[in-house]
Amino acid sequence: MKDTDIKRLLYTHLLCIFSIILSIFIPTFFLENFSILETYLTWLCICSVFVTAINLVLYLVVKPNASSKRSSLSYKVTRFLKRCIYFLMSCFFFHVIFVLYGAPLIELVLETFLFAIILSTFTTVPCLCLLGPNIKARLRVFSRNGVTSIWENSLQITTISSFIGTWFGASPIPLDWERPWQVSPISCTLGATFGYVAGLVISPLWIYWNRKQLTYKNN
């Protein structure tokens, strides 16, 4: 494992964090009374677009082990369409999970679905960018000893931290604090965002700290 690889990973994650910061501040110059709480649905859409765009650009530039095989236009279009389909499937899957866990079935359907989109952006989009539309690769990465690079290691950490953040974000909803951010699914979204950012910060540091103990099959 080279220190330059860890630095590339760190810079990539810093740019992902920067994309979230941009989604908070840039719209204030163009949208009146814009804020995360007051214009919650608008921010969800903007944040999802920013994070997805940064992930696409970064993984196209720094994606490890990029293969030149099967680089025909039809192949690229097919893989792109598969990625879009998998992303939509992920959104619907998360939406169903949220409903099963107590989210309103009809009353807040738009809010719940946009929350599913932002969680898919934090978890599914990096998977699709790094692994492509390959279910077996995802099962391998999220198995106990299936990672083959620091990028997959980082993917594990950021995905799990996003889910943990969502779980903790849901805990204040039943409390009677009467805070505006307690309304479902705002607190869940904030928890997922903090969890995602925490994963982006923690994973390069954890990999650097444990670099001597980490071994990968392709190394």
pLDDT in tens, 108-162: 899 999 999 999 999 999 999 888 888 888 888 888 777 888 999 999 999 999 9
**Per the domain annotation, does 86 fall within a domain?**
yes
**Per the domain annotation, does 29 fall within a domain?**
yes
pLDDT of residue 178: 75
**What is the C-alpha to C-alpha distance for residues 201 and 124, in angstroms, rounded to an integer?**
19
Domains in the chain: how many in total? Answer: 1
Average pLDDT for the chain: 87
Q: Which of 29-38, 166-175, 177-186 has the lowest mean pLDDT?
A: 177-186
Query: Is the confidence at residue 24, as pLDDT, over 60?
Result: yes
Q: pTM (2 decimals)?
A: 0.89
CB 181 within 8 A of CB 37: yes
Measured from the Cβ of residue 53, the count of other Cβ atoms closer than 10 Å reads 12
**Per the domain annotation, does 67 fall within a domain?**
no
pLDDT of residue 196: 97
93: domain range?
A: 3-60+73-217
User: How far is Cα of residue 60 from the mean position of the Cα atoms in its chain?
Assistant: 16
**Per the domain annotation, does 68 fall within a domain?**
no
**What is the C-alpha to C-alpha distance for residues 43 and 194, in angstroms, rounded to an integer?**
15
pLDDT of residue 100: 93
